[in-house]
A and B are shown apart, each in its own frame.
Chain A
Amino acid sequence: MRDIAGNILLVMGIVFISFGVFGELRYKDLYSRILVASKVDTVGLLTILSGMIIKSGFNYFSFKILLIVLICIVTNPMSTHSIAASAFKSGYGLKRRGGKTIDT
């Protein structure tokens, strides 16, 4: 029963991460890439690690995976925000619908 629940979480994580990779390959603008790929990919990583926790049970191994989950919850959005702020402050233009760029 625990094995089946872990496998379901692993399949959900693979689907989320494949959405993130597809968005990264599909879009051409930087900000839409950041919006799609980062959020979906963070959710997929947390789902796969939760599936590994459920499959491994209640022991020393799963506590270490829980530590990795906590680190990734804190650090992954912060690094993505740092990339977006760096691109915006350096003058990477926002694209309008007509193709012109807005000066920042």
Chain B
Amino acid sequence: MFVKYVLIFMVFFCICMTWVVVKGPTIWDRLLAFNLLSSKVIVIIVIISFLAQKSFMLDVAIVYSLLGFTGTILFARFIQQKNDKDKL
């Protein structure tokens, strides 16, 4: 089945993104790489629920995307106010 090979590629890309999260020089590199990794995790959840033909697993993907969005924006605002000493 062809979808399993897409799953293997996605796991390989997730390992590459984890390497960027560990290595990245500044904190914004890590944040961007984590954002891209969460989008790949959404694809992995959709493919697993397609292989198992269970429709309720897609709710996990919806909740994961919304929580990743709020977490990314909260972290970005928090770091910005920490370093911005002129405007505070």
A contacts with B: majority SS: helix
Interface size class of A (residues with CB under 8 A): 35 or more
Task: Known contacts A67-B62, A78-B69; decide if A34 and B39 are in contact (CB<8 Å).
Answer: no
* Residues on B with beta carbons closer than 8 Å to the beta carbon of A90: 79-80, 83-84
Interface residues of B in 37-61 (CB under 8 A from A): 39-40, 42-43, 46-47, 50, 53, 55, 58-59, 61
Asked if B61 and A83 sit within 8 Å, CB to CB, the answer is no
Asked if A86 and B80 sit within 8 Å, CB to CB, the answer is yes
Asked if B80 and A80 sit within 8 Å, CB to CB, the answer is no
Task: Known contacts A55-B50, A83-B28; decide if A48 and B73 are in contact (CB<8 Å).
Answer: no
* Residues on B with beta carbons closer than 8 Å to the beta carbon of A79: 35, 68-69, 72-73, 76
